[in-house]
Amino acid sequence: MNFLGVGPLEVALVAIVAVIVLGPERIPGVAVQLARAVRYMRGYATDATADIRKELQELTKEYDEVRKELNEFRSSLGGGFSNIAEEVDRTLRSGREKTALKPGSDAPIIEPGGEPPPKPSRTSTNS
């Protein structure tokens, strides 16, 4: 059973080296200090996790509010654009019906300014 890549043999080796280096009289004091350090780190990690969760909840709340506003804006614009599109379509269709030429008609094409196109000139410019 490995924990963070450290197996039982490695733990036993560290314990033997600790007994040799520290001696049997200092091992209980080191164990107490190590337990305090682990407890402090756990408390720090718990506080940090709680702070991060609190901030994420606030951000999620703000995100939901912005998303709601965006959906309301999108729905209000959707109706306006569909009305505009219908009006433009209706205007174009009525314009086509009014300006439709009868088959066989030789009426000139009217330029955008409202005047017929200019007649082509047959004069040549030779130098």
pLDDT tens, residue by residue, 117-126:
667 776 655 5
Count: domains in the chain: 1
Q: What sign results for the dihedral spanned by CA atoms 37, 42, 43, 48?
A: positive
Tell me which H or E stretch contains 116.
Answer: none
Q: Tell me which residue has tokens 């433009």.
A: 88
Helix (H, G, I), strand (E, B) or coil at 105: coil
Looking at the domain assignment, is residue 60 inside a domain? Answer: yes
Looking at the domain assignment, is residue 110 inside a domain? Answer: no
Q: Residue 30: CB partners within 8 Å, gap ≥ 6?
A: 18, 22
- Model confidence, pTM: 0.42
Between the ranges 51-60, 80-89, 101-110, where is the mean pLDDT highest?
Answer: 51-60
Mean pLDDT of 80-104: 71
State both tokens at 51: 């702070």
Distance between CA atoms of residues 98 and 91, nearest Å: 11
Looking at the domain assignment, is residue 73 inside a domain? Answer: yes
Looking at the domain assignment, is residue 24 inside a domain? Answer: yes
Give the residue numbers spanning the domain of 20.
Answer: 8-92
Looking at the domain assignment, is residue 121 inside a domain? Answer: no
